[in-house]
A and B are shown apart, each in its own frame.
Chain A
Amino acid sequence: MGHLIANAWLRGLVHGALLITVLMTAVAWISWFERKFAARVQSRLGPTMVGPAGLLQPIADAFKMFQKEDIIPRGADSLLFRLAPPLTLFLSLATAAVLPIMPGMLASDLDIGVLYALAFSGLLAFPIWVAGWSSANKYALLGGMRMVAQGISYEIPMVLCALVPVVVTGSLSLSEIVKYQAAHHWLVFWPPGIGVIAFVLFFTTALAESNRIPFDIPEAESELVAGPTTEYTAIRFGLFASAEYAHSVVSCALASALFLGGWDGPVLPPSVWMLLKTAALFVIVTWVRWSLLRLRSDQLMALCWKYLVPVSLALVLGAGAWVYVVG
């Protein structure tokens, strides 16, 4: 297969450790970037005090999170309450295992990589629901229920859009899909028209899956305090926050692997291309977050079931027809 490390177990261990390190570091400074960007949109300065241009702010935040008092509410289901935050982070990071960073470098070259990534991404609704349920708090419970409703609904168009590259390339392996794109066309341009729409819809549903604005009804600050994470304090809350960012980043990386050619690109080394594409997508995610309003619950469902699902079904059909006719 041409991997850098031949032994599969060792490869998984090394690449996994590397991926987690890179991802968690990225998550820390992504939070800095997001705060800076939000500040600029609102004509503020953002963090400036800790380090040059506030660059050490994430470290200060982490220390703060560790120092805060850890509170488990009376009446909460203690075991589940403790289990939910690490489980959320675990599922967010686990998705990254199948991401091809560069040729021959990925933690686990599953031949059903796409399925695996989507399955883990879909599972994320579960620990958040656990958090909402175990908190013994009505806001948390409502938020958890909304998360489940949203997660299950948006999983369908997301999977259907991810099916377009699978149909075109004839493979469920992410590394094979990227190799196809490197050899032929990026799937955002191919099949013409269908690819672009599939990419935009996939990106939209990925936003909803990682419950970012405008799809953040589980969290909905103005209605539900902080949704499922209302009762969480200290580093447990920090785990949720970093899990959300990690999931966003992994979704962006998944979108760039599926549609934007992954590590494929001229001049620069492959891993840099992959990082650049992911970063660019994440900038868009942040930009969207600070521009749009939250959808109402019913609007969210209407958007999913009335528009996204039929359109993505049509896209899969179109991609199938394209493959049948053009080959």
Chain B
Amino acid sequence: MLYLTATLQSLFSTLRQSLKKPTTVEYPKVVRPRAPRLRASFALTKDAAGDENCIGCKKCEKVCPSEVIALTTVKKPSPITGKSRGYASDFTLNLQGCIICELCVQVCPTDAIVMVQDQEKPGFSREDLVLTMDKLYDNGEKKLRLSWANASVLAEHQNPERKHA
């Protein structure tokens, strides 16, 4: 008897389920909106005048838990303003070991490094997964969808106020 009622119950539940709209969507045709805090890849930004935001402070390199960021610093006059300040002469971020923890974005004093929602395209070699400085600045110029967080947004959510912003 128990088996009979259970049978009827399961028949009813599958019937009800089969009349509902399927949850699955066909991905390339239908793209679901991405979560605002989705983090997929990185970009380096420039300011409104076109000057690089990165000052080569190496905070990101130091905080990176998987040590995939490497940058070298150089002090030179700005091509835009002419004032002398720090720049990154080389910046690489190796996505092979990146754990997408966003710590580099959180510590950046100038909002230079940000995360984007667009994934890097898959490649055939390991080198394709290494984001060089050119690729990072390209990502910054490509108007990719930015992740919700950058250093100043996160700073607004925190107390006390940061010194630089």
Alpha-carbon separation in the docked complex, A240 to B15 (Å): 28
Q: Report B8-23 residues with CB < 8 Å from chain A CB.
A: 10-11, 13-15, 17-20, 22-23
A52 → chain B, closest Cβ, in Å? 14
Known contacts A41-B18, A43-B17; A287/B11 CB under 8 A:
yes
Measured between beta carbons, the chain A residues less than 8 angstroms from B23 are 43-44
* A40 B18 Cβ-Cβ under 8 A: yes
**Complex: A42 Cα to B14 Cα, angstroms:** 8
- A45: Cβ under 8 A from any B Cβ: yes
Contact B14 A41 (CB under 8 A): yes
Residue of A nearest to B14 (CB): A291
| A residues less than 8 Å from B22 (CB atoms) | 39-40, 43-45
Contacts of B10 in A (CB 8 A): 291-292
Question: Which residues on the A side are within 8 Å of B26 (C-beta)?
Answer: 45, 48
- What residues of B have a CB within 8 angstroms of the CB of A288 in the complex? 11
Q: Considering only CB atoms, which chain B residue lies closest to A46 in the complex?
A: B22
The answer to whether the Cβ of B96 comes within 8 Å of any Cβ in the partner chain is no
Residues of A within 8 A of B14 (CB): 41, 287, 290-291
Q: Give a binary string over A27-40; 1 marks a CB under 8 Å from any B CB, 0 the rest.
A: 00000000001011
Q: Which residues of A contact B18 (CB under 8 A)?
A: 37, 40-41
B5 proximal to A (CB < 8 A): no
Residues of B within 8 A of A48 (CB): 26
With CB as the reference atom, state the residue of chain A lying closest to B17. A41
* Contact (Cβ within 8 A) B20 A43: yes
**A42 to B15 CA separation, bound complex (whole angstroms):** 11
Query: Which residue of B13, B15, B24 contacts A45 across the interface (Cβ within 8 Å)?
Result: B24
Residue pair B24, A40 in contact (C-beta under 8 Å): no
Number of B residues near A (Cβ < 8 Å) is 14
Chain A at the B interface: SS class:
loop
Could you say which residues of chain B place their CB within 8 Å of the CB of A291? 7, 10-11, 13-14
A43 to B17, alpha carbons, bound, how many Å? 7
In the complex, what distance in Å separates the CA atom of A33 from the CA atom of B74? 67
Q: Is the CB of B17 within 8 A of A40?
A: yes
Chain B 19-52, CB-CB to A under 8 Å as 1, else 0, gives: 1101110100000000000000000000000000
Q: Nearest chain B CB to A45's CB is how many angstroms away? A: 5
Complex Cα distance A45/B21, Å?
Answer: 9
With both chains docked as a complex, state the minimum distance between the C-beta of B9 and any C-beta of chain A, in angstroms: 9
Separation of A37 and B22 alpha carbons in the complex (Å): 11
Interface residues of A in 280-324 (CB under 8 A from B): 287-288, 290-292
For B13, list chain A residues within 8 Å (CB).
Answer: 291
Q: How far is the CB of A243 from chain B (nearest CB, A)?
A: 26
In the assembly, what is the distance between CA of A292 and CA of B15, in Å?
12
- A42, closest chain B residue (CB): B17
CB neighbours (8 Å) of B7 from chain A are: 291-292
**A37–B24 CA distance with the chains assembled, in angstroms:** 14
A179 to B11, CA, bound (A): 34
Instruction: Looking at the assembled complex, report how far the CB atom of B10 sits from the nearest CB atom of chain A, in whole angstroms.
Output: 5
Give the shortest distance, in Å, between A214 (CB) and chain B (any CB).
8
Bound Cα distance from A55 to B69, whole angstroms: 51
Shortest beta-carbon distance, B17 to chain A, in Å?
5
Kindly list chain B residues whose C-beta atoms are within 8 Å of the C-beta of A292.
Answer: 7, 10-11
What's the Cα separation between A7 and B38 when bound, in Å? 75
- The residue on A at minimum CB distance from B12 is A291
Interfacial chain B residues near A287, Cβ < 8 Å: 11, 14-15
In the complex, A39 Cα to B10 Cα: how many Å?
16
Q: Across the interface, which residues of B come within 8 angstroms of A290, CB to CB? A: 14
Taking CB atoms, residues of chain B closer than 8 Å to A37 are 18
Chain A to chain B: the 7 pairs with minimum beta-carbon distance, closest first: A291-B14, A40-B18, A43-B23, A291-B10, A291-B11, A41-B14, A41-B18
Q: What are 24 A-B contacts defined by CB distance under 8 Å?
A: A37-B18, A39-B24, A40-B17, A40-B18, A40-B19, A40-B20, A41-B17, A41-B18, A43-B20, A43-B22, A43-B24, A44-B22, A48-B26, A287-B14, A287-B15, A288-B11, A290-B14, A291-B7, A291-B10, A291-B11, A291-B13, A291-B14, A292-B7, A292-B10
- A interface, CB within 8 angstroms of B: 37, 39-45, 48, 287-288, 290-292
With A40-B19, A287-B15, A292-B10 given, can you name 6 additional A-B contacts, CB distance below 8 Å?
A44-B23, A45-B26, A287-B14, A288-B11, A291-B7, A291-B11
